[in-house]
Structure 1
């Protein structure tokens, strides 16, 4: 008799959809990046190990920056005050500024889910400071963002490989990092920084299953989510 097909592994915790995840207390109450500025102690330059302002200032014309999970957009507003008038700055956040103020002309603040939002242009710089910790399909967002870069653009984001899990709940950290590096990304384990230089089409060998908002604290000490995948 033929053998029955293997039974798919069952995740140790119930997984939730993107809509359910974004309504969870872990994501809805997240304040990881709301007040961070452009430079200084609590800044993008310190967190990412690269100065967004210096990177953008080196652009010959119309520098463009997309900040995913931008919080209050403080860093973007500070950049708008010193960059050329033709700069293009975009911030996307699930909640957006809690105390809205008119943005400068160069800045567009978008309240939307980074899991479903798509830009209509490419950018010289794309950042995501601690935002991936609260995105369900974080590998999917990374592959999409790769295609949003200009030819010599830079993507810089924080990434926790331990938040990537196999369907049975076991860690997929090494597999995920290996796949990302094979696709052209660089990863610094010491700083949990993921970077990619140059826009491109990326396909990673994973299929997203859902997220676990009860995963507990990650390396930041703050509650985060776990993303579950099957390998292709």
Structure 2
């Protein structure tokens, strides 16, 4: 049963949807607050949002685990995990990047890049995106790519708001999209808005991206988010 979805309102005509190159410069997306203060454990933390402590998960993966965090903001959680696990390889990627200049622990890299254009040179035991997909235009394409960035036993966890997935006429596209994600091996927790995948693999979702509306208004987090428009059928 899928919950947390609602019909679209104030649907922009197709010619007013914007592509991801323009979306990257929009104030809703190129923000300076995403994951700036979120720490590893505690009240405002990755552990709370993900439902597990990333450092504990990595510690169970062997002597040299790896973690890729998408939309990493200031990277405070990554810094803490890197100090706890000095042999870990940890990468954070963010459109704006860290605003505070501080020396990084060994093994930690913070990359400033557009996730629509960036790809890693390795695979990871853990790939996370804490509330970051809300600001990605073609989020299904990113999920397809991220599935291939996992090791064979790796774990991907990302927050997804199905209510921001739209058909060309602006109506709710959550049911077919979630059905396709589940068919590809993903699990979705409607209660926590968390999408997960275990084990890297090629994924191809049967939708064509049409563009985004960055003026869709707040999503379930209460913050402004991007609505992504798709039509049925492969690319």
Correspondence list, 1:10-29, <5 A:
12=13, 14-29=16-31
Contact 2:32 2:96 in 1 (8 A): no
Deviates more, 1:143-152 or 1:13-22: 13-22
Contact 1:11 1:167 in 2 (8 A): no
Structure 1: tracts of 5 or more residues without a match: 1-9
Aligned match of 1:225: 226
Q: CA deviation at 1:29?
A: 2.5
CA distance in structure 2 between the partners assigned to 1:53 and 1:218 by the alignment? 29
Correspondence list, 1:115-154, <5 A:
115-154=116-155
Q: CA deviation at 1:128?
A: 0.2
What do you get for the CA RMSD once the two structures are aligned? Answer: 1.2
Q: CA deviation at 1:192?
A: 0.2
Q: CA deviation at 1:11?
A: 5.4
CA distance in structure 1 between the partners assigned to 2:135 and 2:78 by the alignment? 21
Structure 2: tracts of 5 or more residues without a match: 1-10
CA distance in structure 2 between the partners assigned to 1:30 and 1:182 by the alignment? 36
Asked whether 1:34 is paired with 2:39, we answer: no
CA distance in structure 1 between the partners assigned to 2:32 and 2:178 by the alignment? 25
Counterpart of 1:27 in 2: which secondary structure? Answer: coil
CA distance in structure 2 between the partners assigned to 1:76 and 1:146 by the alignment? 21
Counterpart of 1:215 in 2: which secondary structure? Answer: coil
Greater Rg over alpha carbons, structure: 1
Asked whether 1:95 is paired with 2:96, we answer: yes
Counterpart of 2:144 in 1: which secondary structure? Answer: helix
Counterpart of 1:140 in 2: which secondary structure? Answer: helix
Aligned match of 2:54: 52
Correspondence list, 1:51-200, <5 A:
51-83=53-85, 85-200=86-201
Asked whether 1:204 is paired with 2:205, we answer: yes
Deviations 1:44-98 (A, max 9, x none): 0100112211110001231000000000000000001111x32100000001111
CA distance in structure 2 between the partners assigned to 1:130 and 1:51 by the alignment? 16
If each structure's strand is expressed as a fraction of its own residues, which one has the higher value?
Answer: 1
Counterpart of 1:214 in 2: which secondary structure? Answer: coil
CA distance in structure 2 between the partners assigned to 1:224 and 1:176 by the alignment? 18
Deviates more, 1:22-31 or 1:136-145: 22-31
TM-score after normalising by structure 2: 0.92
- Runs of 4+ in structure 1 deviating by more than 2 angstroms, as ranges, are 10-13
